[in-house]
Amino acid sequence: MKKILKNIPLMLIIGLVLSRVILVSCTKEKVPVPVASNAPDPNCPDTIKFSTTITDMMNNNCAGCHGNGGTPPDLTAYASIRDNASSILASMGASGTMPKFASKLADTTVQKFSCWISQGKLNN
Ligand code: HEC
């Protein structure tokens, strides 16, 4: 009987250590698998081409007013479109006012401009 009483603290310590191990291994299993940083953006499956998609978008909807020498920003030149990209995107978005005096561009069109920005505003 005395021997068992003597061993109770030891058993408690072993119990604590064991429960610790079990708890730690359980929490470890819950750590989510990290998503690869180069995972493709589901909203931008294709690389947007400046020389076709963006140029067409600007020429068809904006360049009439925003040409070289027209209302700034110049939306016919790559450097000007690149440097003003975020205000151009905002101007076409839900709370934007462009194109002026015309109906808003389709969400899918605006999305393409947003993808072009997130893909690095390539002159491709
Ligand atoms: C009918 C003429 C006209 C068209 C078409 C037009 N704009 Fe504008 N835009 C203006 C004028 C005028 C201003 C100056 C501010 C104002 O009057 O709202 C302006 C201002 C801007 C500005 C700067 C101010 C702001 O709102 O951030 C941006 C960016 C812009 N336009 C982008 C565009 C884009 C992108 C398109 C095509 C999708 C477009 N505009 C089409 C006339 C036009």
End-to-end CA distance of the chain: 85
Residue 122: how many other CB atoms lie within 10 Å: 14
Q: What is the pLDDT at residue 121?
A: 98
Identify whether the C-beta of residue 89 lies closer than 8 Å to the C-beta of residue 117: yes
Indicate whether residue 48 lines ligand 1 (CB < 6 A). Answer: no
**pLDDT mean values, one per 10 residues, the chain (124 residues):** 61 54 56 64 93 98 96 98 98 96 97 97 98
Token duo for residue 76: 């016919």
Which of 91, 103, 112, 116 should be mutated for ligand 1, with most atoms under 8 A from CB? 91
Q: What is the pLDDT at residue 19?
A: 55
Q: What is the pLDDT at residue 41?
A: 83
